Amino acid sequence: MLCAVGPAHAEKGFGGGTDGETEQRADTGEDGSVSVMVKGVVFDHSKNGSGDSAGAVTSTTSWSPPACWYAPKYTPKQLQEYLEPIWEVGSTGYEWDAKQREKYNAKDEKKGFNKDKTGKGYWWGTYVNKSYPPGWDSCDKDYFWVDTGDPPPADIENAVTPEVLAELAYAEIRVPGTEVTLAPTEATKVNLPTWAWLDGAEFKPVSVTASVEAIGINATATAEPVSLEIKPGTPDAETYPASGVCEINDGRIGAPYAKGKADATPPCGVKYLRSSGDGTFPLQATVTWEIHWTGSGGAGGDLPDGEFGATQNVVVQEIQAVNR
C-alpha cells in the first residue's frame, strides 16, 4: 500500500534531499509493519503571495534562514539499502568502509542499522537549500539516529524543530510587488506634492507552513506589512512624512488622491524640487514586513523583519507658465 502523508495542497519547496524531492510516503510490509520514507520538509504555499511581481523578502538584519538543515531521512532498511552498495564498490576505501560497517553494526542481521527499532525512529541526514546560498555546505554531520518523540541532539545546529521549520518557511515567503501608484500619474510637476499609495487589497498578511509529518512537527511563518519607505531618487526632493516612511493605516499604505485635494498634504508622497530634464528619477519603494511564527506544541515567536522593494522611473516636469 502506498499513501501520501503530506497535505494534498502542499507544494514542493527547496532542498527536499539530494534528489530535490519533498515527498513522504509509507509502505506496509507483509507482516503489517509500516516503514515511512521521509524526504525532508514539506511546504504549504497556499496562503503565500503570488503573481509575477511577488518576491522573497530580505532580512533587515544580518540574520538569514538556514542554508542547510537536518531532518529524518531514512528508516533502518532504507539506510542499509543506500550505504551497502557504496561500500561494495569500495570507492571510499577499505578502512573507511570498515569503520562505517562497525558504526552501523552492519554485520548484525537483526540489529544492524537499528533494524530492531524499525517504526520507533529515523536516521536523520542533511538537506540543502537548492539555491546554494552561503553556508549550504556547513551541515557535515554523518547520519544520526533519533527515537520517535525525542528531540534531536541539542549540539546539532539546524536539526529541524518547530523554530527551525519557521526559519525555513521564512525563506519561502513571497510578498506582493511594491510599485506604488502615483498621482499625478504620467508626470509630476516641480514643487507640487505627488501622492503615493499601495493597493490595500494586495497588502495583506501572507504565510507559509513547513512540516515534517513523520515526526509530527510544523510551523507557520506569517508576514504582515507595516510600512512603506520612499526614496525619491534625488536629494532635491521632500518626502511626506519627512522620514519617508509611511505607516500602514487601516490596512492601507498611503491614500489615493481624490479631486479637491490639490492643496492638501498627502499622508504618503514626495515633492520634487527640480525637474528630471530629459530623463527620470529612480524612485525606490520598499515595504517592511513584520514576521512572526507559531508552531506545534504551542511554540512561537518573532523573526527578523523582511523587506521587499522595487524601483520605478518618475518624470518630473517644470510648471509651464502662460504669458499674455
Classify the phi-psi angles of 227: left when phi > 0, otherwise alpha if psi is within -120 to 50, otherwise beta: beta
Name the residue type at position 267. Answer: P
Name the residue type at position 5. Answer: V
HEC assignment per residue over the chain: CEEECCCCCCECCCCCCCCCCCCCEEEECCCCCEEEECCCCEEECCCCCCCCCCEECEECCCCCCCCEEEEEEECHHHHHHHHHHHHHHCCCCHHHHHHHHHHCCCCCCCCHHHHHHCCCEEEEEEEECCCCCCCCCCCCCCCEEEECCCCCCCCCCCECCHHHHHHHHHHHCEECCCCCEEECCCCEECCCCEEEEECCCCCCCEEEEEEEHHHCEEEEEEEEEEEEEEECCCCCEEEECCCCEEEEECCEEECCCCCCCCCCCCCCEEEECCCCCCCCEEEEEEEEEEEEEEEHHHCEEEEEEEEEEEEEEECEECCCCCCC
**Residues 229-279: tens digit of each pLDDT:** 999 999 999 999 999 999 988 778 899 998 888 778 999 999 999 999 999
Q: Quick one: pLDDT at residue 321?
A: 52
**Residues 170-214: tens digit of each pLDDT:** 999 999 888 899 998 889 999 999 999 987 777 889 999 999 988
Task: Please determine, for residue 315, whether its predicted confidence score (pLDDT) is greater than 90.
Answer: yes
Cell numbers at 138, concatenated? 556547513
Q: Quick one: pLDDT at residue 38?
A: 53
Q: How far is CA 247 from CA 288, 301, 305, in A?
A: 10, 23, 15
Q: Quick one: pLDDT at residue 9?
A: 28
Q: Quick one: pLDDT at residue 248?
A: 87
Q: Quick one: pLDDT at residue 6?
A: 27
Highest mean pLDDT among 20-24, 94-98, 156-160: 156-160
**Residues 103-158: tens digit of each pLDDT:** 999 999 999 999 999 999 999 999 999 899 999 999 999 999 999 999 999 999 99
Q: Quick one: pLDDT at residue 320?
A: 67
Name the residue type at position 84. Answer: E
Can you name the residues that pair with 287 across neighbouring β-strands?
Answer: 228, 308
